[in-house]
Chain A
């Protein structure tokens, strides 16, 4: 009797879920709620654990902070430029990889190498490529010079040049994973569909648009959603390229702003940091929901 009741109540199921729930609760949900509370506590001091009052002043401060607005602008630019471009280029490369037979494994390995390479090493390589020093203008400037274009200081120079390097770097870093996912998605499309399309005399372009793309669309949307989230959380890449004083370099991101507010030279404001973090959370949540809505409408199951 008791056993039956136990089974029917679904208690067993909850028991299986318990470890995950405990873990997620302690390390995800609780901090989230805590940060949410901090974000409304004005003038919170982490040393004395005291605050002056409760209100929305933290949000108002953050939203009027030019550094935060700069960080938002940078982050959005990064997201809007890199997510579609990296997904698009990865798709092109994957389709290419999928249609060659010989050397396919070699190229797959080559394209995957950046994924297993240390970020700092990659950052160093990008420094050498782009940085202008007293001794050299950097490799990219050398190439620009051949085409008659003047040297550009990509690391400490104009805003657009720095943005370009950041986007270039981000696309390059996220590419291998996307190629990996897309090549396996392409390989899993049943060859029979292509044979059927060939019998019907379908052109290559139409096969791609009407068969390949719909078939791998769930994977593309997965990459777009994770790409959005990843790009919104960008921070370490920016540090690797432009150092830690990101506000001065005009290259801060939202996560960078949160970090600076907590630990940076001008830091020690956990309330502002919490407010910024909650704002980022709201932005990512909104964008992800929009993404999911769109995907539910257009992705083919």
Chain B
């Protein structure tokens, strides 16, 4: 596409009247959201349920009107435009395919709505519908009813219907949540491919961090209507802005410990695990990614072993530590360490020691839960 179709959200706010009868306040679904979505990229809005990500999508689509703030598509203010004049395609979470129409009729539906000078001849409409169907590889199924299709096929029809008018922005609401695990993997590749082929700026909403991380050019982590962090998936993973983002990204989740910084050293319980340069003494949360542990006999962090889980590709060492916020500490070790491990006495209850990989360790303020940057210097 030659038009630059960046989407800009400016101080976007959406308040809903509270449904609680006793407390007639307002619920702020989206709070002062400012973000620029670059042209032709795939963006994942990520957050737990109720964080305002779907509302944000609805605001972009025009199905909801913002309480304040503006929305721009490629420089044009579309805040007051109804959905049909924004040039968007929207794929609903449960697809919203019209059950009484065939696949072809469903895809044709948006085209048949065109009026006046945009009106298309029957042949052109059919041609466009066939093109869209081919794009998502359902051109064999044109005469079926949605009820005769599998979940994945329905999803494709929904995408074809959203694409048939060649929208400037494609919006997907939880596109994979209704699919089973295997199909989910396949469909997310599919969404990536379609987005690449069409070059349409695409925004999708998900609560599944793996989904967002795997296909997005950029992810936006949201919580309670606020965008906490925006960035490339790997950057956000490697450098979370605060405790929430660190906890939300990554499977298995990050291991968290109560810790202290004393005289430039991080302490987890009694163990001094790392030097952190000149940070004033304070109470902190220490976050360690599962891949940030290295089992070694001289390791600084001492835990009680609970078990080993061998997953083929890698090994999880599950252990306990009194300072841990999670019930167990989970360390993931590549299989190349296997030999090293087997020599140790790996029985439950034994002590296991880890040294920490500095760039996999994050410090968060106990009060604000914001990240505390430190110089990596190891121990």
| From A195, A206, A215, contact of B113 by CB (8 A) | A206
What separation, in Å, do the CA atoms of A10 and B101 have in the docked complex?
A: 39
What separation, in Å, do the CA atoms of A200 and B61 have in the docked complex?
A: 11
What separation, in Å, do the CA atoms of A300 and B146 have in the docked complex?
A: 12
18 additional contacts, CB 8 Å, given A199-B83, A199-B90, A301-B100? A190-B94, A192-B94, A193-B96, A195-B63, A195-B92, A195-B96, A196-B98, A198-B82, A198-B83, A198-B84, A199-B88, A199-B89, A200-B84, A200-B113, A201-B82, A203-B113, A210-B101, A214-B100
Chain A interface helix/strand/loop/mixed: helix
With an 8 A cutoff between CB atoms, is A24 at the interface?
no
| From B62, B96, B101, contact of A190 by CB (8 A) | B96
A36 to chain B, nearest CB (A): 41
Given contacts A199-B84, A200-B84, A200-B110, whether A192 and B92 have CB atoms under 8 Å apart is yes
B82 to chain A, nearest CB (A): 8
Hey, what's the 0/1 contact readout for B75-95 against A, CB within 8 Å counting as 1?
Answer: 000000011110011101010
Inter-chain contact B96/A192, CB cutoff 8 Å? yes
Inter-chain contact B98/A211, CB cutoff 8 Å? yes
What separation, in Å, do the CA atoms of A211 and B110 have in the docked complex?
A: 13
Given contacts A196-B90, A201-B84, whether A215 and B100 have CB atoms under 8 Å apart is yes
What separation, in Å, do the CA atoms of A190 and B96 have in the docked complex?
A: 8
With an 8 A cutoff between CB atoms, is B109 at the interface?
yes
Interface size on B, residues (CB 8 A): 22
With an 8 A cutoff between CB atoms, is B99 at the interface?
yes
With an 8 A cutoff between CB atoms, is A202 at the interface?
yes
Given contacts A201-B83, A201-B84, A201-B85, whether A196 and B113 have CB atoms under 8 Å apart is no
Interchain residue pairs with CB less than 8 A apart (10): A192-B94, A195-B92, A196-B96, A198-B63, A199-B84, A200-B109, A201-B83, A210-B101, A211-B98, A215-B99
Hey, what's the 0/1 contact readout for B221-256 against A, CB within 8 Å counting as 1?
Answer: 000000000000000000000000000000000000
What separation, in Å, do the CA atoms of A202 and B96 have in the docked complex?
A: 14
Given contacts A192-B92, A203-B113, whether A300 and B100 have CB atoms under 8 Å apart is yes
Query: Which residues of A are in contact with B by a Cβ distance under 8 Å?
Result: 190, 192-193, 195-203, 206, 210-211, 214-215, 300-301
Q: Which residues of B contact A215 (CB under 8 A)?
A: 99-100
Hey, what's the 0/1 contact readout for B99-111 against A, CB within 8 Å counting as 1?
Answer: 1110000000110
What separation, in Å, do the CA atoms of A203 and B116 have in the docked complex?
A: 13
Q: Which residues of B contact A192 (CB under 8 A)?
A: 92, 94, 96
Hey, what's the 0/1 contact readout for B26-69 against A, CB within 8 Å counting as 1?
Answer: 00000000000000000000000000000000000111000000
What separation, in Å, do the CA atoms of A197 and B178 have in the docked complex?
A: 21
